[in-house]
């Protein structure tokens, strides 16, 4: 399960999506997430599906690798679908005492499951095609206008980048601790869901110790390299828009306009 989490991992490849400016990819991901919540019917998911398939194809990231990121959220999708089926009022199909399964509930469950699938898959493409350094630079450059409001943009971008970078590291550390405890007789596989969840609790203490140790080592390394935030800081590869980035902005704008027009038409 831990190996299936792809959030925060970078997949090296020489593709069009990888070469895009990180600001373009950040805006594209934000627009994509917003459009998933604009529509009220499955018709809006048609351009969303076409847009997502196009991005995955252009990124050259294997579909199987992208789909790995969906596996950890399958329990969340199932729980969300179950609550929507039971709690959504409407025309009853099956009734068991206080439990009423309605046609509207089934529709809403499928609708929310598809939305979660697109949300996770679309978001994972951002980190799979963007290095942590490029992501930090893109966030800082894209949010630079907030400096006039005394917002520490560089520090916020740095924290978000470090947090994303720590996700795969902590996942790998959790897997190592789990295997070490299994070699000493710990059982994480047998029993019901509650028993297996309780068996995972002993992983938390060594995981937190390892996380704090890594954070301390990172802080010492940054101080040893005289890191003092954005003041006087230069970049080896400054972000400069290219022709490909403007074309990508045009495609993103066309996609957003399509969804807005479909929403205005009641779709």
Half-sphere exposure of 11 (CA within 13 A, CB side): 21
Domain count across the chain:
1
Confidence of residue 11 (pLDDT cuts 50, 70, 90): confident
Using CB atoms within 10 A of its CB, is residue 181 exposed (0-12), middle (13-18) or buried (19+)?
middle
Instruction: For residue range 126-167, list pLDDT tens digits in order.
Output: 888 988 888 888 888 888 888 788 888 888 888 887 887 787
Q: State which H helix or E strand residue 99 sits in.
A: strand 99-102
Is the four-CA dihedral 123, 124, 126, 131 of positive or negative sign?
Answer: positive
Q: Taking 80 as the threshold, does the pLDDT of residue 207 lie above it?
A: yes
Q: Which residue has the higher pLDDT, 250 or 206?
A: 250
Query: Hey, what long-range contacts does 224-231 have (CB within 8 A, 24 or more apart)?
Result: 229/152, 229/154, 229/155, 230/140, 230/153, 230/154, 230/155
The pLDDT score that the predictor gives to residue 255 is 93
Could you tell me the two tokens for 28? 């594209």
77-122: pLDDT as tens digits? 888 888 888 887 777 777 777 777 888 888 888 888 888 889 888 8
DSSP-assigned letter for residue 102: E
Owning domain of residue 70: 2-264
Q: What is the pTM of this model?
A: 0.78
How confident is the model at residue 230, as a pLDDT? 66
Contact by Cβ (8 Å): 142, 121 = no
Q: Which of 13, 17, 37 is nearest to 251 (CA)?
A: 17
Radius of gyration of the chain (CA): 22
| Distance (Å, whole) CA 24 – CA 241 | 9
Percentage of the chain exceeding pLDDT 70 = 93
Contact by Cβ (8 Å): 118, 49: yes
User: Tokens 């074309």, residue?
Assistant: 247
pLDDT tier at 244 (50, 70, 90 boundaries)? very high
226: left (phi over 0), alpha (psi -120 to 50) or beta: left
Strand partners, 99: 96
In degrees, rounded to 5, the angle at the alpha carbon of residue 128 between the alpha carbons of residues 124 and 131 is 125
């Amino acid at each position: 399960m831990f190996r299936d989490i792809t959030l925060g991992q970078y997949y090296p490849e020489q593709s069009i999506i990888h070469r895009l400016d990180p600001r373009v990819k950040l805006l594209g991901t934000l627009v994509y997430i917003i459009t998933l919540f604009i529509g009220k019917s499955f018709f809006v998911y048609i351009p969303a599906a076409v847009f997502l398939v196009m991005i995955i194809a252009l990124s050259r990231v294997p579909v199987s690798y992208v789909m790995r990121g969906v596996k950890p959220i399958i329990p969340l999708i199932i729980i969300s679908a179950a609550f929507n089926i039971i709690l959504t009022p409407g025309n009853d199909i099956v009734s068991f005492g206080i439990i009423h399964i309605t046609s509207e509930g089934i529709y809403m469950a499928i609708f929310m499951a598809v939305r979660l699938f697109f949300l996770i898959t679309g978001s994972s493409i951002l980190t799979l095609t963007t290095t942590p350094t490029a992501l930090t630079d893109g966030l800082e450059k894209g949010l630079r206008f907030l400096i006039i409001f005394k917002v520490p943009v560089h520090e916020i971008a740095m924290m978000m980048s470090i947090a994303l970078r720590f996700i795969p590291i902590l996942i790998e550390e959790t897997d190592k601790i789990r295997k070490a405890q299994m070699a000493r007789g710990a059982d994480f596989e047998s029993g019901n869901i509650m028993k297996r969840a309780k068996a995972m609790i002993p992983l938390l203490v060594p995981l937190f110790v390892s996380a704090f140790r890594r954070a301390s080592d990172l802080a010492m390394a940054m101080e040893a390299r005289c890191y003092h935030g954005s003041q006087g800081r230069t970049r080896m590869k400054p972000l400069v828009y290219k022709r490909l980035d403007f074309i990508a902005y045009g495609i993103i704008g066309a996609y957003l306009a399509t969804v807005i027009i479909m929403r205005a038409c009641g779709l």
